[in-house]
Structure 1
Amino acid sequence: MIRKLLLSALLLGSAPALLAQSPKKPKLLVGIMVDQMRADYLPRFADQMGNDGFKRLLREGFQCRNTHYNYVPTVTGPGHSSVYTGTTPRYHGIVGNSWYDRRLRRDVYCTDDSTVQLVGTPKGMGVSARNQVSTTLGDEMKMVSNGRSKVIALSLKDRASALPAGHMADGAFWFDMNTGDFISSTYYMPALPKWVADFNAQKKADYYRQQTWTPLRGPEAYLNSVADSNSFERIFKGKTVATFPYELSKLAPLNPPPYEMVNISPFGNNLLTDLALEALAHTDLGRDDVPDLLALSYSSPDPVGHTFGPLSKEENDLYLRLDLEIARLLQALDKTVGKGNYTIFLTADHGASEVPRYLARHHAPSGAQSHSTLNKGVADYLNQQLGPGAWIETERNNMYYLNRPLIASRKLELARVQEMLAEYLRNQDGIAQVSTTAQLLASSQTAYLESKLQNGLYYKRFGDVRFELEPGWTWEMGVGATHGSGYAYDSHVPLLWFGAGITPGISYQYHTITDIAPTAAMLVESKLPSACTGQAIPEVLSTAGPKKRR
């Protein structure tokens, strides 16, 4: 019947009524991730922003206002992997920024690769996407184009560059906090390309390290922030209070590594935009009809958030300044690639909690657990129940790894010991949800936290018992923000689409972060990443007829 209707429509010349027109395929896809950007930041800060940055994206693009991470932990490595693979840690394998390796009996960083060497610096472990077991959007673009698509990733963090770049990229570059240069890895190339070497020779990081960070606007621009002087922020060495101004030239020698202060300031965003503009000017990105990918990750909002918190004047000012960088990037894309020839998606790798001390001061639900206290309690309990022994190998990412050889030697059932530990944890203050690996593997969970725990499970890198703290609880009643939970403050992030194939609109439908890669793949007519579990967002892709506000 459907085939007959389509044939009749074609014969009658009314096929557009049944077949939506394909969106324009962009020459360049630009993925922008802002590290630790909560969904509420844009509406909070937009009134004080200009018209050419975020507001242009909002005005001319499509907003998905109800986009969430659908797993835990909500941290940088898994976040970047999930956006570009279109799946959760359960299938791409990046279960944290680092994890415990039972075979090696030590921690493994998410982009560690001992088979390669760094390029552009003499020190450090090699970096690649080898630990990421799914292909990425960029990998698939390379394959379907027989290698003609170009893929380049840039960030201050290595994991925010290598993981989006994937396994076949033409280049992944990140910032060396010790030298002030952008570097790479032999996984991608034997030596830095000329345009990166020339950029490093300009010593722009040295220029930014000499700047003084002062408020960009007058007091009226910061009405949604707490007072500049408060007790919720970390104080840099060399200052007695966490208040403006921040003279980076004086603070940098006292707060190592040498270029860390560039990172913990808006000037890290300036530096990344500078490099992105060099990439647009000196590579062939977006120069032909084969779609390319430029993956950018603005890292500085994360250390600024960790240092000062979401309600700080510093965080507010950083986003007003980031707005100028987005405008600068859009202007460069218009000039080098051309309006209507590129498509942007902008999102974040996670959100952030409020500062624990702020919550406590205002009687909001909050609290703090202690790693040392909880770990000692666990060890004492298992010794009482099972006899003396080192029953726990380690605790990482809210997961306990049991000593499985010891359990086997004592002829104990692993599942029984897991459940014994889980039952103890369920009775501890501040713990909301506890699941054993066996439970997560055996059932299909639909409850809020349980499903997120299950989506974060990659068995080879997972512990025996995984738990989640109560809302508002952290590991210490400290200053600055943190993140990593499955709650809305960590999972709810912005998602904006702009450019070729996108018409203006807003959707309030629930979407997950894993929907980005399949949507982008449809726009560039690429194959989906190998482990993709997300669904293309129809509101973004539907371009037939006038776009309605949703």
Structure 2
Amino acid sequence: MTSFFRVLATLCLVIAGMTVYAGSPPKLVVGLVIDQMRWDHLHRYQDRYGKDGFNRLLRKGHSFNNTFINYVPSMTAVGHASIYTGSVPAIHGIAGNEWFDLKSERMVYCTDDSTTHLVGGEEALPSMSPRQLLTTTWTDELMLASNFRSKVVGVSLKDRAAILPAGHKPTGAFWYDDKSGQFVTSSWYFQDLPTWVEKFNSRQLGQQLLAHEWETLYPAASYGQSTDDQAAWERPFKGAQTTRFPHQVKHLYQTDKGIIRNTPMGNTLILEFAKSAIESYRLGAGAFTDVIAINCASTDYIGHQFGPNSMEVEDAYLRLDQDLASFFKYLDKKIGADNYLVVLTADHGAAQSIGYLESLRFPTGWLRGKEKVKPLNELLAKRFQTDDLVKAIYNYQVYFDMAKIAAAGLDFQAIKAHAIGYLRQEPGVQFVGDMDNASQLSIPEPIRSMMVNGYHFKRSGQLMIIQEPGWFDGPLKGTTHGTWNPADTQIPLIFMGWKIKAGHSNERVHITDIAPTLSWLLNLQAPSGSIGKALHVQLKSD
């Protein structure tokens, strides 16, 4: 009878979508976040990928083909925080890459921490930490469960994409410094740069990788999935008169070390740095599960500059495919193919370039949020006899001067209603939500829930703007992200390696389901703010 109830309980958990596993955990978990990777990038170039990179993930992994971000704004820092916490901005507090702080009346960057200093580079400069992340991550929970005998390392070209995934007390987090062309860290983690990082920096690998100009990997005529090499909506490199290949990046690197971010070689650099971290900390070699959290960020920089349908983006993915194949081969030899678990996903996707959509006569437009502050303030001043009631429009949110409104004894509900009436009439605006009255919003799902999930009372604007599909607030050249639309919010999600059975699922799941799934797989407590569900990943038996 006891065994019957055990079986029944297990079945109930599986039906509920919870993965039950009590076998030996993986030696190493590789969190692999490809910045700005839309779900369709897995398949758009699939016939051009080799067999050992993205196609290995698709062939041997379990792919969740209908994975969506379930909040707005769909920004980089928010994505990384949500992947690793299983939560949303309303709870984990990372409301954007930056947000307007009404108390200090300034923009606040998501990982700024004036109590720390940079380690490596110019050490007198203030640095970064995960202090503003309000919940634990699954990497935090792993450290707690192992009594800090596991090792967790975060690496990225971007500070926020190394810091937030690694959690609050990791082994270390490292990112790229544009001024020195070296990897640095924060006094939150170390007082001195680890010797292995100094040795890696001394190799000057960035200079080696950009010893030649950026040419296409294959003949240009073979890039049939992309728009013409020269497009009006693409942004050229500094000093260039054209956006055509080859890109003269070799000489640019001599005066701007950050230029490597905007080339596929930035991904090569971070994966080589990740290998050095694995070697130096002997990740995957101990008695407890270790984690290397990797962000390949160059796909984001290239997408922002050229747009998602450009030859540059196609070339970046073809080169990244080769880099991933090499990295997986390294892990096979170093850790063992059945001893490591890869989780590939993205922090967000990207919209099509406005210029490209205009050329096709598709619905599109530029929202110009910042340009609405002045006319909105003039309108409100005329009605309420008080100047500058709006402090900023940022992240598709309207921030009001709450201190001024309170001091003048103004009716805030009336102010918001007046602002909403104005904004609703603006081109490209579909909905405007008063987030103080979110339960009353007459806005269709899932948009309303995404707004609620993305609203943090202390860090978000009181009104949230939802643009019409195809519209966004960003550059006229290249592209950006941040909206609720599927181009920005449908992302890849693949679990591969260790005991994962090959397969796929088409159910709608969310970015917030990743952390609880890993928590179940690793027998961990879910992170402190997790709202996601554990996904049913098919496993091989021991």
TM-score category by the smaller chain? over 0.9
The 1:220/1:50 distance shift into structure 2, 3 A limit, reads farther
SS in 2 for 1:344: strand
Q: How does 1:299-310 map to 2 (within 5 A)?
A: 299-310=297-308
Distance between the aligned counterparts of 1:180 and 1:415, measured in 2? 50
Q: 1:366 to 1:197 in 2, by over 3 A?
A: same
Q: Secondary structure at the match of 2:410?
A: coil
**Partners in 2 of 1:521 and 1:205 — Cα distance?**
36
CA contact (8 A) 1:23 1:541 kept: no
Structure 2 counterparts to residues 227-238 of structure 1, below 5 A: 227-238=228-239
Q: Is the 8 A contact 2:21 2:520 kept in 1?
A: no
Residue equivalent to 2:4: 5
Aligned-pair CA distance for 1:397: 1.1
Q: Which runs of structure 2 are paired with 1:74-473 in the superposition (5 Å)?
A: 74-122=74-122, 123-219=124-220, 221-252=222-253, 258-440=256-438, 447-473=445-471
Deviation per CA, 1:189-232: give whole Å up to 9, x if none. 11121111110111111222322111111346411111112212
| Per-residue deviation, 1:373 | 3.7
**Change beyond 3 A, Cα 1:67–1:197:** same
Q: What one-letter code is carried by the residue in structure 1 that aligns with 2:75?
A: V
> Structure 1 residues 8 and 510 mapped into 2: Cα distance closer, same or farther (>3 Å)?
closer
Distance 1:170 1:437 in 2: 39
1:41 corresponds to which residue?
41
TM-score by length of 2: 0.94
| Paired residues of 1:35 and 1:299 also in contact (CA < 8 A) | yes
Contact 1:21 1:543 in 2 (8 A): no
2-structure distance, mates of 1:41, 1:193: 36
Structure 1 residues 418-439: Cα deviation after superposition (integer angstroms, max 9, x where no partner): 2221222112111112111211
Give, as a single letter, the amino acid of the residue that structure 2 aligns with 1:243: R
* Residue 280 (structure 1) shift: 1.7
Aligned mates of 1:344, 1:4 — CA distance in 2: 34
Cα drift, residue 524 of structure 1: 1.4
SS at match of 1:99: strand
> For the Cα contact (< 8 Å) 2:309–2:352, is it kept in 1?
yes
Q: What is the one-letter code of the residue matched to 2:452? A: Q
Aligned amino acid, residue 190 of structure 1: Q
Q: Is the 8 A contact 2:278 2:292 kept in 1?
A: no
Further displaced range: 375-384 or 496-505: 375-384
Higher mean C-alpha deviation, range 131-140 or range 474-483: 474-483
Cα deviation, 1:171-203, whole Å, max 9, x if unaligned, reads 000000110100000101111211111101111
Per the normalisation by structure 1, the TM-score is: 0.93
Which residue in the other structure is 1:503 paired with? 501
Q: Secondary structure at the match of 2:437?
A: helix
Deviations 1:60-101 (A, max 9, x none): 111111001000111111010000000111110000000111
Question: 3-state SS of the aligned residue for 1:262?
Answer: helix
Q: CA deviation at 1:236?
A: 1.6
| 1:466-545 to 2 correspondences below 5 Å | 466-475=464-473, 478-538=476-536, 540-541=537-538, 543=540
Q: Aligned partners of 1:63, 1:93: CA distance in 2, in Å? A: 29
Describe the superposition over 1:445-494 as per-residue Cα deviations: whole angstroms up to 9, x where unpaired. 87222211110011111112111211111236712121100110000011
Instruction: Give the letter aligned to residue 405 of structure 1.
Output: A
Distance (Å, rounded) in 2 between the aligned partners of 1:250 and 1:516: 41
- For residues 341 and 8 of structure 1, the distance between their equivalents in structure 2, rounded to whole angstroms, comes to 28
In structure 2, C-alpha distance between the alignment counterparts of 1:444 and 1:88, rounded to whole Å: 22
| Paired letter, 1:32 | L
How much has 1:378 moved relative to structure 2?
0.7
The Cα offsets for residues 25-66 of structure 1, whole Å up to 9 and x where unpaired, read as: 101111000110000111011111111111111111111110
How far apart, CA to CA, are the structure 1 residues paired with 2:181 and 2:474?
32
> Which one is further off, 179-188 or 280-289?
280-289
Partner-residue secondary structure (3-state), 1:498: strand
1: CA distance, partners of 2:133 / 2:440: 24
- Write out per-residue CA displacement over residues 91-112 of structure 1, whole angstroms, 9 at most, x where no aligned residue: 1000000011111111110000
Go from structure 1 to structure 2 and tell me whether the alpha carbon gap of 1:259 and 1:69 turns closer, same or farther (over 3 Å shift).
same
Partner of 1:548: none
Unaligned runs of 5+ in 2: none
Distance in 1, Cα, partners of 2:139 & 2:281: 17
Q: Runs of 4 or more off by more than 6 Å in structure 1?
A: 7-10, 17-21, 441-446
Q: Could you tell me which residue of structure 2 aligns to residue 13 of structure 1? A: none
Q: Per-residue displacement from partner, 1:381-430 (whole Å, max 9, x unpaired)?
A: 10121114221122221111112222122222222222221222112111
Larger mean CA deviation between 276-285 and 244-253 belongs to 244-253
1: distance between equivalents of 2:399 and 2:253?
39
- Distance in 1, matches of 2:407 and 2:328, equals 62
1:20 deviates by 6.8
Q: 1:7 offset after TM fit, Å?
A: 6.8
- The residue type paired with residue 252 of structure 2 is L
| TM superposition shift of 1:354 | 0.5
Question: Is the 2:63–2:495 contact (alpha carbons within 8 Å) kept by the matching residues of 1?
Answer: yes
CA, structure 1 residues 372+516, in 2 after alignment: closer, same or farther (shift >3 Å)? closer
Going from structure 1 to structure 2, the CA distance change for 1:441 and 1:97 (only over 3 Å counts) comes to farther
Three-state SS of the structure 2 residue aligned to 1:212 is coil
Between the aligned partners of 2:370 and 2:277, the Cα distance in structure 1 is 46
Q: Deviations over 1:264-294 (max 9, x none)?
A: 0001011011101111222121112311111
Structure-2 change in CA distance of 1:159 and 1:47 (3 Å): same
Shift of 1:542: 5.3
Distance 1:508 1:212 in 2: 41
More divergent stretch after superposition (31-40 vs 473-482): 473-482
The answer to whether the Cα contact below 8 Å between 1:30 and 1:294 also exists between their aligned partners in 2 is yes
Q: Is the 8 A contact 1:266 1:321 kept in 2?
A: yes
For 1:283 and 1:118, how far apart are their aligned partners in 2?
21
